[in-house]
Amino acid sequence: MWGDYRGVPQQGRLDITTEFGRMMVSPGEITVIPRVFDNHFELPDLGPIGANGLANPRDFQTPIAYYEKDNLNNDYNVDHSPFDVIAWHGNYVPYKYDLAKFCPLNSVSFDHMDPSIFTVLTCKSAFPGTAIADFVAFPPRWVVQDNTFRPPYYHRNCMSEFLGLIKGTYDAKVEGFLPGGASFMTPHGPDAITFERASNEELKPVRIAETALAFMFESSLMLGITPWGEPEVQDNYNTLF
């Protein structure tokens, strides 16, 4: 199977057992389980940002080896547990990351930055400037730029986007977008209420998303909804202004 498996829990917890050990992943954390070949999620190139900012390598956690002696699941069709690993060595392992440790960047001048400045992990493509998938987080942060339109986003739209909300309210869709909800976007913008408010408010420093946490997958590839997700489509989403 191609690609990495990504987990972003919104409620409850994920209890994951792998050959490398076990991980408990709570809302606000993400997990990556590498698959077999080809491109994988990695930290983005920081360039002029330098050594600090965005996600720090030291904050990613890997499992401690977990030895399971007995085969407790007959579905394996083997005479022992596949999780009978007492130790592992190397860096090709599952991991998790607490988004509360993500240090977002933003403009302190006049322009609204592209959402790529919020990239936690990226799976690069063969074409610079695009990605197979970027994973982006929108945590609490300050907004201070002037002489501009602040809400998301006046930016490139060459990427398909899957936006999800873990908790709180999203600053570009204050109504009708609840935690656990998600949206697909191609060319897009904020809803009418957000647009009007942002067009007339005083541009002073303000703290946004104080109790919120949103995430986004950006991809240069086309996205689609699986049959599993179709029954939960919110038909009136675009009318909730």
Residue 190, pLDDT score? 72
Annotated binding-site members for homogentisate: 170, 188
Residue 1, pLDDT score? 40
How much is the average pLDDT of 81-99? 91
Give the other-Cβ count within 10 Å of 119's Cβ.
22
Residue 77, pLDDT score? 72
The kind and range of the H/E element at 16 are strand 14-18
Annotated binding-site members: 155, 161, 170, 188
Distance CA 18, CA 69 (A): 14
The kind and range of the H/E element at 192 are helix 192-200
Catalytic residue among 40, 80, 89, 112: 112
Structure tokens given for 12? 């409850």
Domains of the chain and any CATH numbers: 5-224 (2.60.120.10)
Higher pLDDT pick, 190 / 149: 149
pTM above 0.75, yes or no: yes
The model's pLDDT over 97-155, given as tens digits with 9 standing for 90+, comes to 999 999 998 889 988 788 888 999 999 988 887 889 999 999 999 999 998 888 765 56
Residue 80, pLDDT score? 78
Q: Does the structure show a pLDDT above 60 at 209?
A: yes
Higher pLDDT pick, 158 / 124: 124
Q: Which of 215, 5, 3, 218 is CA-nearest to residue 96?
A: 5
Q: Which of 143, 116, 129, 8 is CA-nearest to residue 54?
A: 116
Higher pLDDT pick, 147 / 54: 54
Q: Does the structure show a pLDDT above 60 at 2?
A: no
Annotated binding-site members for Fe cation: 155, 161, 188
Annotated catalytic residue 112? yes
The model's pLDDT over 223-236, given as tens digits with 9 standing for 90+, comes to 887 787 676 777 77
